[in-house]
Amino acid sequence: MAYFNEVTKVKYEGRHSNNPFAFKFYNPEEKVGDKTMEQLLRFGIAYWHTFTGDGGDPFGAGTAKRPWDHLKGMDLAKARVEAAFEFFEKIDAPFFCFHDVDIAPEGDTLRESNQNLDEIVSMIKDYMKDSKTKLLWNTANMFTNPRWTHGAGTSSNADVYAYAAAKIKKGLEVGKELGAENYVFWGGREGYESLLNTDMKLEQQNLANLYHMAIDYAKEIGFDAQFLIEPKPKEPTTHQYDFDVATATAFLYQYGLQDHFKFNIEANHATLAGHTFEHELRVARESGMLGSVDANQGDLLLGWDTDEFPTDLYTTTLAMYEILKNGGLGRGGLNFDAKVRRGSFETEDLFHAHIAGMDAFAIGLRVAQKMIDDKFFETIVDERYKTFQSDLGQKIINRQTSLKELEAHAIDLKDIEVRSGQVEKIKARMNQYLLNI
Ligand SMILES: [Mn+2]
């Protein structure tokens, strides 16, 4: 059966189209640089927000009206798979992503949950045979069920830790079965509420040990996906161990995991950590660990994770600049970890939201490529740091000088010329780029 009868396949119609079910800027075939938009953007659909989520919030029940609402249990899970592949085809999505519990209901035991999962995974595998949509990544949900109250890999309870290990083992097997490009670890409750009852060192060591076991098991079964850590601060636990990219990088290096992981960077997590999205992308890129992106945006007026569809063109442009300078995302992609607003409860809103997000990133891609072609930022930065091209600057960069030698240089200096950063001029030029695409 068809679930989205109101929409036929969404196509590119160009910037002047008035068709709400058409792309205005995302043209999958269009070349930007030497690759197509489809190759560069690698959009993914988040199963949880699009097919499992119901628009509920902490103050009220779900509002979403979905054609599968009348079903329950495994019938509901199967209907969602049918709907998902119809949606992927109509929105022309190259990838999708899921947590285990998004696609199949949990049973009373892990054994029962795994049986449910196997049935749905087999159904998904059949659908994938006739679909171009591939699995960008899967993961295990280890934060919703009450057993995860004190964490999963950082739980204070060894039985819970074992349960987490078993869920990851199954997740890796499912990833291999469906040919996932990546496997994500989002440490939903890997952190703590209060130091008064917490052995922080033990928790972090246990978490690192769990990651090492995952690396070993993936190797054992021949699952060669890229492992990704998804940093997030303060929500849900007060102190998250993977607070931001810099914190998580230190963790990976401390426990010898740095060669096995990259980052899945979410825009809304970046802003909750007090950073911009582009800051987190830059930190990861410069350490060679930019793996994939959860493409969304937060509401800067609110202090929690709102997972809105990305529509801010400044942000998508600066994000695509980082991604292009990274040489693309490799096996990663732009997964819309984003949900329609609670008030956008009609089924067709799922299309409007994804079209808005895909067009916003297509604009960002075009503008970022143009700025790179013009060496826009590179020229500004070269000029700003040009004193480091002098003999003195080169000695500093190459660690060929000393405090004594630098003192000798500085001691009688007068009239040092410190120049304006001109950030307003740069933003005005960026506006021109945005308006001239
Ligand atoms: Mn989020």
Question: Distance between CA atoms of 163 and 151, rounded to whole angstroms?
Answer: 11
3-state DSSP of 36-63? EHHHHHCEEEEHHHHHHCCCCECCECCC
Compute φ and ψ for 407, nearest 5 degrees. Answer: -65, -45
How large is the greatest C-alpha to C-alpha distance in the chain, in angstroms? Answer: 82
Question: Distance between CA atoms of 289 and 229, rounded to whole angstroms?
Answer: 10
- 176's tokens: 């291999």
Cα of 305 vs centre of ligand 1, distance in Å, is 5
Cα of 6 vs centre of ligand 1, distance in Å, is 29
Alpha helices in 130-244 (DSSP H): 158-178, 200-221
Q: What is the pLDDT of residue 329?
A: 97
Q: What is the pLDDT of residue 93?
A: 98
Beta-bridge partner residues of 99: 139
Q: What is the pLDDT of residue 313?
A: 98
Out of 49, 92, 99, 275, pick the active-site residue. Answer: 99
Contacts for 306 with CB less than 8 Å, ≥ 6 apart:
268, 298, 299
Out of 92, 100, 102, 359, pick the active-site residue. Answer: 102
- Residue 240 near residue 234, CB atoms below 8 Å: yes
3-state DSSP of 218-276? HHHHCCCCEEEECCCCCCCCCEECCCCHHHHHHHHHHCCCCCCEEEEEEHHHHHHCCCC
Question: Distance between CA atoms of 68 and 29, rounded to whole angstroms?
Answer: 33
CA 83 from chain centre, in angstroms, equals 23
- Residue from 111, 116, 128 nearest 163 by CA: 111
Provide the whole-model pTM: 0.97
Burial-class residue 36 by CB neighbours within 10 Å (0-12, 13-18, 19+): middle
Taking the chain (437 residues) in runs of 10, the rounded mean pLDDT of each run is 92 98 98 96 98 95 96 98 98 98 97 98 98 98 97 98 98 98 95 97 98 98 98 95 98 98 98 97 98 97 95 98 98 98 97 98 98 98 98 98 98 95 97 94
Helix (H) or strand (E) holding 78: helix 73-91
**CA 374 to each of CA 278, 314, 367, 371: distance values in angstroms, whole numbers, following the listed order:** 20, 18, 11, 5
Question: Distance between CA atoms of 149 and 143, rounded to whole angstroms?
Answer: 7
Burial-class residue 412 by CB neighbours within 10 Å (0-12, 13-18, 19+): exposed
Cα of 27 vs centre of ligand 1, distance in Å, is 27
Q: Is the peptide bond before 231 cis (omega within 30 degrees of 0)?
A: no
Compute φ and ψ for 196, nearest 5 degrees. Answer: -65, -25
DSSP string, 292-345: EEE--B--TTSSS---BPP--HHHHHHHHHHHHHTTS-TT--EEE-----TT--
Q: Is 234 left (phi over 0), alpha (psi -120 to 50) or beta?
A: left
Residue located via tokens 């949606």: 87
Cα of 295 vs centre of ligand 1, distance in Å, is 9
Active site residue 102: yes
Cα of 391 vs centre of ligand 1, distance in Å, is 47
Cα of 57 vs centre of ligand 1, distance in Å, is 14
Cα of 130 vs centre of ligand 1, distance in Å, is 31
